[in-house]
């Protein structure tokens, strides 16, 4: 028995097509889904994932979320095949979530405490970074910070508390007393 995700009422099982239609018509502005997908996509963007990877991950997350919501497993492969057959072309994940996320992304980037821009591009590969370092152009590597050679110039403070006795010293003191 399946549960209708929009009303949380039990519905009779009418085949995978009915479940896929429910998945397509689900309100993806759901705050629970939005908070999870935003975290996933932000992490992937930080790793320089392509738009295709982001869209595929978003589609898989929708299937996973809806599957958990109704309490019945849904095959992503079957869903994408059904969707492509329905549309007569390869499945393309819905971009309605991206529109909703973009305003949340803007809020996150505005509230970020770090001075580093959120969408700072990284070199394409490790070889590109090595080339920049060996050619002495380290200032062109994004995200690099200058670390001073001296860590702390303030002299250390003197200890004011008496030295604590070690366990074997404490036993020796007790034996002498």
- Angle at which helix 31-46 crosses helix 51-70, to 10 degrees, equals 150
Measured between alpha carbons, how far is 82 from 102 in angstroms, rounded to an integer?
28
Joined together, the tokens standing for residue 42 give 């932000």
Q: State the chain's maximal CA–CA distance in angstroms.
A: 93
pLDDT of residue 13: 53
pLDDT string in tens for the chain (177-residue length): 444 444 444 444 567 788 888 888 888 888 888 888 888 888 888 888 888 888 888 888 888 888 888 888 888 888 888 888 887 755 444 444 444 444 444 444 444 444 444 455 555 677 888 888 889 887 777 777 777 788 888 888 898 998 888 888 877 777 776
> In 3D, which of 141, 95, 103 has the Cα closest to residue 120?
141
């Amino acid at each position: 028995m399946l549960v209708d995700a929009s009303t949380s009422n039990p519905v009779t099982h009418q085949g995978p097509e009915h479940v896929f239609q429910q998945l397509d018509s689900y309100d993806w502005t759901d705050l629970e889904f939005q908070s999870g997908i935003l975290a996933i996509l932000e992490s992937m963007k930080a790793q320089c994932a392509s738009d295709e990877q982001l869209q595929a991950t978003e589609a898989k997350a929708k299937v996973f979320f809806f599957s958990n919501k109704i309490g019945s497993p849904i095959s992503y492969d079957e869903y994408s095949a059904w969707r492509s057959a329905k549309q007569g072309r390869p499945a393309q994940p819905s971009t309605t979530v991206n529109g909703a996320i973009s305003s949340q992304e803007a809020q996150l980037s505005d509230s970020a405490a770090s001075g580093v821009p959120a969408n700072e591009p990284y070199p394409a590969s490790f070889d590109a970074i090595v080339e920049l370092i060996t050619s002495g152009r380290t200032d062109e590597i994004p995200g690099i910070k200058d670390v001073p050679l001296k860590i702390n110039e303030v002299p250390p403070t003197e200890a004011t508390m008496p030295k604590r006795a070690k366990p074997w010293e404490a036993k020796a003191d007790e034996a002498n007393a």
